[in-house]
Chain A
Amino acid sequence: MATSCSYMVSTRLSMLGWSGGGRKELRNRRASFISAQQQQTDVEEAESVKAPPQEEQEQAESSRSWKPKGTKPRPVEPQLNVKSKNMTREYGGQWLSCTTRHIRIFAAYIDPVTCEFDQTQMDKLTLILDPSNEFVWKPDTCNLVYSYFQELVDHYEGAPLTEYTLRLIGSDLEHYIRKLLYDGVIKYNMDAKVLNFSMGKPRIMFNNDNQLEEPPEK
C-alpha cells in the first residue's frame, strides 16, 4: 500500500514535470523561431555588408539578444468574457437536464421571476411545464403534475444524479400528462401557434365511462 502510494506520488510529480516540460518545449520552440528569423536577417545583413568580423559580432549580439527574449514568455491576457468557474461535477459543473416537449427538468434552481439559472444549487430539481403551451393549464392541473413530480423524486431517492434518472422521471411525467389528457382533466390549447396534437388527435371520449356509448373517433 505504502509503495503503491509513493509510486502514485512520483507519477504525479512526473506529470507536473511533463506539463512543465511541455511549457519549456513551447518556450524553446518560440525561441528557436525567433532565432531563425534573426538568423535570416543576419544572413541578409552579412550579404549586404560582406564583413566576417561584423557577421560574427552580429551573431554574438543576436545570440545574446534572443536569450532573454526566449526566457520571458508573453503574459497571458486575462479573459474577461469567459465566466468559467472551474466547477467540477461535485459543485454543479455538469449540465443535467431532461428536455421533451412538455417536461423540462433541470438539476439546478431556476428563479421563477427572473429565470436565472443557478447550477451550483445541486440539491434542487426544477421542472418547467409545457413552455410551448400545447395544453391549457390551470393552477389545479399544474399542482397535480407538480405533486406527481415530487412523488417521483421521492421514489427515486438515493439514485445517482445523472441524466438517466432525470429522463426516467421525465418519461413518467409525460405518461402521467397523457393519462390526464385521456381522462379529460387537461385539454389541448386550440389557440396555440401550432396544433400538433402530439399526444393523439382529440377524441370524443377517451375513457368511456357511463356516458356516450359512441366508439372513439380518431
Chain B
Amino acid sequence: MNSIEFPLLDRTTQNSVISTTLNDLSNWSRLSSLWPLLYGTSCCFIEFASLIGSRFDFDRYGLVPRSSPRQADLILTAGTVTVKMAPSLVRLYEQMPEPKYVIAMGACTITGGMFSTDSYSTVRGVDKLIPVDVYLPGCPPKPEAIIDAITKLRKKISREIDEDHIRSQQENRCFTTNHKFHVERSTHTGNYNQGFFYQPPFTSEITSDIFFKYKKSKHSATKPSN
C-alpha cells in the first residue's frame, strides 16, 4: 500500500505498571465525564435532545450538556451542515479545548445523506471539516443508537495512549503571502438613509433642475396633442 504511512512506528512506549495505571486512570476520568456541546442544526437534534429527558437519560453516562464550546469536550454534529454553517462549525470545534471528540450523527453528517445527490449547498460529510471519531448512521438515529455511539466512543477513549498525544508533532504549518485583491468599500456605514440617496451613475450627471425642465418640456410638448 503506497498511500499510508506510520511516522511514529519506532516509538517505544513505557510498559511500567505505574504509567499504564495512570494512563488508565486518566482515560477513565475522561470517558466517564464527556460533556457534549448543545449543538444541533436539524432533525437529528430532536433525537439528541430526547436523551436529556428522563426516558433515555444520558446523565447516567456522565454527559452534561454544555452551551459553551470552551467547556465542552464532545461535539455531536446533529443535523445537516450546509456551506453557510461550515465555518461556524469549524470555529466551534477549534474553540473546544483538547482533548476533544466528535461524533458524526446522522446520515447527513457522514456522507451528505439525502442531500448527497443534488444539493448545491450541503457539505457532503462533516469529516471534510473536522476530524471525526465515531460515525453514527441513521436518519435520524434512535436515541438508543446514540447511546450506543457514546458507548463506542467511551471504549475508544479507554484504548488511548497518552504518549501518542505528546509525541505526535504539533507543528504549525503556516504560510503567509501577499495578495493583490481589491478591498471593497463597505456599504454598511451605519446610516440608515443611505439607500434613499444612492445615485445611480447615469442620473447623477443630470441635475434635478435640468430633469424638471425636461419633464416640463415633455409635458408642454404633449399638451397640444390633448
Do the two chains bind?
yes
A residues with a Cβ closer than 8 A to B are: 1-4, 7-8, 11-12, 15, 88-90, 94, 97-101, 109-110, 112, 115, 122-134, 136-137, 142, 146, 149-150, 153-154, 156-163, 165, 181, 184, 187-194, 196, 198, 202-206
- Shortest Cβ distance from A153 into B: residue: B179
- Shortest Cβ distance from B171 into A: residue: A137
Interface residues of B in 170-191 (CB under 8 A from A): 172-186, 191
Question: Is there an interface contact between B179 and A88, defined as CB atoms closer than 8 Å?
Answer: no
Which residues from B are CB-within-8-Å of A196? 127, 131-132
- Check if B199 is an interface residue, CB within 8 A of chain A: yes
Complex Cα spacing A207 to B90, Å: 32
- Shortest Cβ distance from A11 into B: residue: B193
Complex Cα spacing A146 to B193, Å: 45
Which residues from A are CB-within-8-Å of B1? 202-204
Cβ-defined partner of A191 (8 Å) among B8, B91, B127, B197: B8
Complex Cα spacing A124 to B179, Å: 6
Which residues from B are CB-within-8-Å of A3? 207-209
Question: Is there an interface contact between A159 and B181, defined as CB atoms closer than 8 Å?
Answer: yes
Given the interface contacts A136-B5, A187-B2, A191-B164, does A198 sit within 8 Å of B186 by beta carbon? no
Complex Cα spacing A17 to B50, Å: 53
Given the interface contacts A130-B173, A146-B175, A158-B181, does A191 sit within 8 Å of B7 by beta carbon? yes
Which residues from A are CB-within-8-Å of B133? 193-194
Which residues from A are CB-within-8-Å of B130? 101, 132
Question: Is there an interface contact between B197 and A7, defined as CB atoms closer than 8 Å?
Answer: yes
Question: Is there an interface contact between A149 and B175, defined as CB atoms closer than 8 Å?
Answer: yes
Question: Is there an interface contact between B183 and A127, defined as CB atoms closer than 8 Å?
Answer: no
Interface residues of B in 110-147 (CB under 8 A from A): 125, 127-133
Query: 7 closest Cβ contacts across the A-B interface?
Result: A89-B186, A129-B173, A187-B5, A161-B181, A99-B90, A202-B3, A112-B174
- Shortest Cβ distance from A2 into B: residue: B207
- Check if B54 is an interface residue, CB within 8 A of chain A: no
Cβ-defined partner of A90 (8 Å) among B90, B102, B172, B183: B183
Question: Is there an interface contact between A198 and B128, defined as CB atoms closer than 8 Å?
Answer: yes
- Shortest Cβ distance from B199 into A: residue: A4
Complex Cα spacing A14 to B183, Å: 31
Which residues from A are CB-within-8-Å of B173? 128-131, 137, 142
- Check if B221 is an interface residue, CB within 8 A of chain A: no
- Check if B21 is an interface residue, CB within 8 A of chain A: no
Question: Is there an interface contact between A191 and B6, defined as CB atoms closer than 8 Å?
Answer: yes
Which residues from A are CB-within-8-Å of B8? 191
Which residues from B are CB-within-8-Å of A101? 127-131
CB distance from A175 to the nearest CB of B (A): 12
CB distance from A161 to the nearest CB of B (A): 4
Complex Cα spacing A98 to B128, Å: 13
Which residues from B are CB-within-8-Å of A165? 181
